[in-house]
Structure 1
Amino acid sequence: MAKATYNGEKNSKERSMQKLLDAVGTIIKTKGYTGLSSVNVGKAAGLNRMLINMYFGSLDNLVETYVRGKDYWVAAAGNARELMEEKKNKDTREILEALLINQLSYFHKEEEMQKIVLWQLSERSEIMFEIAEEREKLGETFFNSADPYFANTDVDLRAVAGLLVGGIYYMVLHAKSNDSLFCQIDVNSPEGLERIKNAIKQILKDTYAKAEKYKR
């Protein structure tokens, strides 16, 4: 019979590393990126903060490892990736509608993503820049598929999508931070959220209809 290998120390290290990573998520949700200090991470993990440097080299490396492991925008896209593959260039309006509505629903309920977006808006950092670049790659795939439909028209789909994404971020962050109405809409209520979704659908319907006129 083969002799069992002792993995106690290795397993203990892996458990501690995971506790530190989980602590980063906890702090982002509860305190935001400004609360990411070695002291806070150590307390949240229930570990000596010196383990951060021992296992990750620095607090920045720990935070970067955590954020890179969380694919926020892929999760927020929902079934839109499958639609892109399924429909190819057939119905890009349905794909964009799914992307935006899925993003609204996910962003509205995921406090951690809300804090990450606030971080992106508040200060420039290498990790936040790279996350934004990854998000843009997903958008590039979609826009390349949609471009033929809008060729030789004056419809700027990228600008329309940009305004919708910006509106989603701002309205959700405003509602979550202030718990107040926005343009007399309670975004925190199911009814208010549904109104925003319907507006997204209508704007996209009108945008695609305008491009269609050029083809007649």
Structure 2
Amino acid sequence: MARKKKESAQGIETIPEKKPRKVVAGPIRDKEKTKRRLVATVGKVLQKYTYSGLTITNIAKESGLNPKLIYLYFGNLDGLIQQYILEKDFWSAKSRTQLAELVEHPDSIGAEETNEVFQGQFDTFLKDKTIQRIIHWEMGMKNKLLRKVADDREELGGHLLSTLDSKFKNTGVDIRASLAIILGGIYYLTLHAKNNGSTISGIDINEDEGRERIEKAIERIIRRDFEDAERSGLEKKNSKKK
């Protein structure tokens, strides 16, 4: 502990110096902590009950907090659910990084890089139950918020597609359609496998063998389209030389 000197009639006296008091923003800190807890609980309830179970009662019960706090911090239940959905990232951190790098360096985009992005999405959907629930929710209900989330997700993927357009222009290969089928297949396969354990075409992606078959199929479709586009480009170049 630091000490300071003080003069007195008896001479110089050394006394301990007090430490400055630590300022803690208690109410503000507690408010943010409570809000984060409520938002996180939405995900827990969604996994446990599906979207029909997203009620004030269930969220208060799972969080152990007073239901009045939902109204205090988010206005109402819809405000809390909206906050959760807007924060939910449908693209994995790895996929987001890959997309940003590919868009910044379009010349580096090839079959391998495109395959990595979609394999990452397949893995994310298989593992994240809350994303599965929200996608299912989107499919079964017309909702402005869910539409916004879907549009935001589409916009991010659209950056990659716009970059790919130039590579496939005038090749006769519709890469957007192929990737749409792949992504739609990921949704459908995952929802079926995780919600009721059913197989599609006798393939069970809950098993390693089934999942690997789908991964190989995704890669094969993407590589085939890139090869076809390259072949088409070479054929056109050769025909011009003649």
How high is the TM-score relative to the length of structure 1? 0.91
Q: State the partner residue of 2:64.
A: 46
CA drift of 1:157 comes to: 1.0
Alignment of 1:25-104 (within 5 A): 25-75=43-93, 77=95, 80-81=98-99, 83-85=101-103, 87-104=105-122
Match of 1:10 among 28, 35, 56: 28
Are 1:210 and 2:228 counterparts? yes
CA drift of 1:2 comes to: 4.8
Q: State the partner residue of 1:21.
A: 39
Give, in whole Å, the separation in 1 of the partners of 2:105 and 2:200: 35
Identity %, equivalent residues: 33
Give, in whole Å, the separation in 1 of the partners of 2:156 and 2:36: 29
Q: State the partner residue of 2:177.
A: 159
Larger radius of gyration: 2
Give, in whole Å, the separation in 1 of the partners of 2:108 and 2:185: 27
Query: 1:28·1:112 contact (CA, 8 Å) conserved in 2?
Result: yes
Query: 2:110·2:226 contact (CA, 8 Å) conserved in 1?
Result: no
Query: 1:77·1:99 contact (CA, 8 Å) conserved in 2?
Result: yes
Unaligned runs of 5+ in 2: 1-18, 235-242
Which deviates more from structure 2 when the two are superposed, residues 80-89 or residues 10-19? 80-89
Unaligned runs of 5+ in 1: none
Which deviates more from structure 2 when the two are superposed, residues 76-85 or residues 91-100? 76-85
Aligned Cα root-mean-square deviation (Å): 2.0
Query: 2:41·2:59 contact (CA, 8 Å) conserved in 1?
Result: yes
Query: 1:76·1:106 contact (CA, 8 Å) conserved in 2?
Result: no
Q: How many residues align?
A: 216
Give, in whole Å, the separation in 2 of the partners of 1:65 and 1:40: 17
Q: State the partner residue of 2:15.
A: none
Give, in whole Å, the separation in 1 of the partners of 2:185 and 2:103: 27
1:7-30 Cα offsets, whole Å, 9 max, x none, are 333333222222211211111111
